Amino acid sequence: MHAFADALVGARRQVGQCSRCFHLSAEPLCEICRNEERRNGQLCVVADSRDLLALERTREYRGGYHVLGGLISPMDGIGPELLQIQPLVHRVDQEAMGEVILALPPSVEGDTTSLYLARLLRPFCLVSRIAYGLPVGSELEYADEVTLARALEGRRRME
C-alpha cells in the first residue's frame, strides 16, 4: 500500500510535460524529442498524450509529435490561446519542418481545430490530415453509414 502511494506521489512530482512537444515526460525533454533520428522533418499533431501513445503503438511513424492539450471548443471556453498552438507555430518555423500531419478526431471540434491549424501552418510547410474510414478486416456491408460516407469522401486515386 505504501509502495503504491509512493508511486502515485512520485508520479505526481516527477511527471511533467516535455518542453518541446508537451507529451508527458519525467525529463525536460521526452524520449521521442531526445531521439535525434526522429527529427526527420515530419511532425504529427495530436489532441492529447493518449492519442500519441496510440500512434506510437503502430510502430509505423518515425517523426516527431506535438501535443495540443485539447481541441478548440467555444462552448467549453477553449480558444486557441489555451492550447499549445503558439509553440507549435514557433516549432514549425524554427525546426524547418517538411510536413505537418494533423491527427485530430473527426468531431466538430477536431475538424475546427484542423482547419484553423492548416490555415496557420500552410505558409511554412506541407499540411496533411490522417484519413478516416473503414477499420482493416471489416466487411463493407457491416460498416455504419457515417463511416462509409467518410470513407467515400476520403477516397484516393489508384496509382
Partner 1 sequence: MIGANGEGKSNLLEAVELLGSLRSHRSGHDRDMVRHGQSRALVRGWCGDGQGHGLGAPGSSLDQLELELRRQGGRLARRNGKALDRQLDLVGPLRCVGFSALDLELVRGEPSQRRQWLDRVVLQLEPVYAELLARYGRLLRQRSQLLRRGVSQGEQQLQSLLDAFDQQMALIGTRLHRRRRRALVRLQPLAAAWQERLSGGRERLELRYQAGSRLEGEEAEAPWREALLEQLRRQRPQERRLGACQVGPHRDEVAMLLGEEPARRFGSAGQQRTLVLALKLAELELVQQLWGEPPLLLLDDVLAELDPRRQELLLEMVGTGHQCLVSATHLASFSATWQGGDSQVVRISRGELVDSPTNR
User: Residue numbers of the site for partner 1 (CB under 8 A)?
Assistant: 72-75, 77, 79-81, 108-109, 111-113, 115-116, 119-120, 144-146, 149
Cα–Cα separations (whole angstroms), residue 14 to 21, 30, 34, 116, 134: 17, 12, 18, 34, 40
Nearest to partner 1 of 85, 101 (CB atom): 85
Smallest distance, partner 1 to C-beta of residue 68, A:
14
Smallest distance, partner 1 to C-beta of residue 20, A:
23
Half-sphere exposure of 115 (CA within 13 A, CB side): 8
Nearest to partner 1 of 38, 150 (CB atom): 150
Nearest to partner 1 of 16, 70 (CB atom): 70
Smallest distance, partner 1 to C-beta of residue 112, A:
5
Smallest distance, partner 1 to C-beta of residue 123, A:
13
Q: Are 104 and 71 in contact (CB under 8 A)?
A: yes
Dihedral of the CA atoms 24, 29, 30, 35 (nearest 10)? 160
Nearest to partner 1 of 37, 81 (CB atom): 81
- Closest of 91, 109, 104 to residue 51, by C-alpha: 104
Q: Which residue has the cell 477516397?
A: 155
